[in-house]
């Protein structure tokens, strides 16, 4: 029973995570943007807040990871 619940949760969170990542706006300028001026801020993870879409992505990624770990522990 728990295995089925975690499998469904994992599948749904994976689909939602894919959609959330695909609809986010592009924050980089390709490889040339990462090699230019100010690249140290983006390379080392210092960037401005992504807004509610980025927070939703982080939340769904957390749900995905937790459900995957719980599914592993249940099996």
With 60 as the cut, is the pLDDT of residue 18 above it? yes
Picking from 26, 28, 27, 19, the residue whose alpha carbon sits closest to that of residue 56 is 19
Q: Where do we find the tokens 């894919």?
A: 18
Q: The pTM is what?
A: 0.72
CA neighbours closer than 13 Å in the CB half-sphere of residue 56: 13
Number of DSSP helices (H) and strands (E) in the chain, helices first: 4, 0
Considering only 20-29, 36-45, 54-63, which range has the smallest mean pLDDT? 36-45
| Rounded Cα gap, residues 57 and 19, in angstroms | 9
């Amino acid at each position: 029973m728990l295995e089925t619940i975690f499998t469904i949760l994992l599948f749904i969170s994976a689909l939602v995570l894919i959609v959330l990542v695909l609809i986010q706006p592009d924050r980089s300028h390709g490889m040339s943007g990462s090699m230019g001026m100010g690249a140290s801020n983006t390379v080392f993870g210092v960037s401005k807040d992504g807004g509610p879409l980025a927070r939703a992505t982080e939340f769904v990624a957390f749900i995905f990871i937790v459900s995957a770990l719980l599914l592993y522990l249940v099996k």
